[in-house]
Copies of this chain bind each other. A is one copy, B any other.
């Protein structure tokens, strides 16, 4: 079937337009579909074979692919870049860019376009919802009610008030700012940690996550994953956050030491966690499943029907602009 598709796609590409490769699982084809008005040509709009397989079947394309559209989890590292000497643009529809070797792209003069601000609101909405859910035990109470064959009891453990709590935001970028804006309306007191103090941000700044955790009730992780932030929330940070503390992760799973998090949740060393992301997605450690102090979300913070419509437009606009010799509309580098 893949061979048939390749040959069909091959026949469609008799044009001199710049070539674009879609780098993702089969369902990723929704992101960009052929349109006669395009100033580029999609090499694999229907079948999405792995890049290596595609290039071994179509070796001449190694030197023709000018842009790649890659989803989160589909790596664009130095090895991949090595295969594509003509590559000039990497376009990702994801909020994070940890799957792309940005420094290697920079070194080779390859531009990178991202999702811009598109997902910030949805991710911030999810972060706030996960926080209240954990704090007020909403998903747990919903399960509790549904489990009862007869309505024998409404006595579910008490939740904690959100309003007025001290919130530590890790990563005060677009998403972190949107989270802060929302939680200010809940009369929460905001502090933050980021690589550097932001001159335009008036919230108290902490240079380490450990100090932030010591002084707050809640940590919300909205930062990028990189070598500096991997396991930025370790056991020491969790113990500093303390028994009533809540961790919300809408960034990347590996920001937290997941094994230690599980232990802390099981032993009530922290109050709870709202997790949209996990260390080895799509794997979710089964030990989470029996815990009522955790809310589990399938990496859905960015995904709404509205955002999917939006990201398709952004990918198309980035490619169109780039191949019109303009700058991408939502550049990362």
Contact flag A160-B304 (CB < 8 Å), given A132-B125, A186-B182: yes
Of chain B, the residue at the smallest CB distance from A122 is: B161
Number of copies of chain A assembled together: 2
**Residues on A close to B: CB < 8 A?**
121-122, 124-126, 128-130, 132-133, 136-139, 141-146, 151, 153-154, 156, 158-164, 181-182, 184-187, 281-284, 289, 295-300, 303-308
With the chains together, A162 CA to B93 CA distance in Å? 20
Instruction: Say yes or no: B129 contacts A298, CB within 8 Å.
Output: no
Interface pair A295/B125, CB less than 8 Å apart? no
Our pick among B136, B156, B282 for the contact of A151 (Cβ within 8 Å) is B282
In the assembly, what is the distance between CA of A181 and CA of B185, in Å? 6
The 8 A-B residue pairs with the shortest CB-CB distance, nearest first, are: A185-B185, A129-B132, A121-B163, A161-B306, A154-B298, A139-B139, A161-B304, A146-B289
Are B129 and A125 in touch, CB under 8 angstroms? no
Roughly how many angstroms separate A138 CA and B160 CA in the complex, as a whole number? Answer: 19
B139 touches A304 (CB 8 A): no
Which residues of B lie under 8 Å from residue A308 when comparing CB positions? 158
**In the complex with contacts A129-B132, A143-B143, A144-B298, A305-B182 CB distance below 8 A:** no
In the complex, which residues of chain B have a beta carbon less than 8 angstroms from the beta carbon of A139?
Answer: 133, 138-139, 142-143
19 contacts between A and B (CB under 8 A): A121-B164, A122-B161, A124-B163, A125-B161, A125-B163, A126-B136, A126-B138, A128-B128, A136-B300, A137-B300, A141-B297, A145-B297, A146-B296, A151-B283, A151-B284, A156-B300, A160-B304, A182-B185, A182-B186
- Quick one: given A132-B125, A182-B186, A284-B145, are A161 and B307 in contact (CB under 8 Å)? yes
Alpha-carbon distance A185/B184, docked complex (angstroms): 8
Q: Chain B residues near A296 (CB, 8 Å)?
A: 141-142, 145-146
Bound form: Cα–Cα A299–B153 in Å: 12
**Residues in B whose Cβ lies below 8 Å from that of A136:** 125-126, 129, 300, 304
A283-B150 Cα distance, complex, nearest whole Å: 9
Q: Which of B129, B133, B159, B298 sits near A304, CB closer than 8 Å?
A: B159
* Alpha-carbon gap, A300 to B12, bound state (A): 60
Complex CA distance for A296 and B146, rounded to whole angstroms: 8
Min CB distance A280 to B, Å, is 10
CA distance A158 to B301 in the complex (A): 10
Q: Which of A153, A158, A299 has the most CB of B within 10 A?
A: A158
- Residues on the B chain within 8 Å of A163, using CB: 121-122, 124-125
User: Do the beta carbons of B132 and A128 come within 8 Å of each other?
Assistant: yes
**Of the residues B141, B158, B181, B297, contact of A138 by C-beta under 8 Å:** B297
List the B side residues contacting A133 at CB < 8 Å: 129, 133, 138-139
